[in-house]
Amino acid sequence: MRTCFAEVLARESACLAGVTDGAMLADWRRRVVKELMTPRSPYALALRHSGDVPERAALLDRWRELIAETLERLLQSGAVGNSLCSSAQTPRGDIDAQKAAVLILAALHGGSTLSQIARDPWPLNAALDFALAPFAATEDDGPTRTRNE
């Protein structure tokens, strides 16, 4: 168990550090979805509940920080947040990166549970489209509604 936490953290540190625009954020998200939908992958194991694991709390804390730092960087550079501001959505100047990171992590966690019981990547993709909407890092053609991937 401990090794899967370390592996997820190492990979997330490296991948998120390289994200500098919305397209790279979308790439990151695609990769994480693939990992989470792979049975017994370090990602799938790390988010799996079993017992009281302080290491999981540490992983989730650090992962949330890494996501928040990435969002902060994207917002400050203007790479996301100022473009594509449709009239139906709020202005992006007031996005709270810390709180948005909590929602994204919850979407990864809750979405992968829903996808695992449904045996379908759709719920996880829909959850991430929802959580990442302010950062416009949705899938190009939206989540495909296939029942058996």
Instruction: Please report, as residue ranges, which positions from 34 to 53 form the binding site for other proteins (by CB under 8 A).
Output: 39, 47-51, 53
Q: Which of residues 37, 131, 136, 137 is near other proteins by CB under 8 A?
A: 131
Site membership for other proteins, residue 127 (CB under 8 A): yes
Site membership for other proteins, residue 114 (CB under 8 A): yes
Site membership for other proteins, residue 26 (CB under 8 A): no
Site membership for other proteins, residue 72 (CB under 8 A): no
CB of 22 to other proteins, least distance (A): 17
Site membership for other proteins, residue 6 (CB under 8 A): no
Q: How many CB atoms lie within 10 A of CB 122?
A: 17
How far, CA to CA in Å, does 45 sit from each of 18, 23, 75, 103, 118? 24, 27, 31, 20, 17
Is 1 exposed, middle or buried (CB count within 10 Å of its CB: 0-12, 13-18, 19+)?
middle
Site membership for other proteins, residue 97 (CB under 8 A): no
Site membership for other proteins, residue 71 (CB under 8 A): no
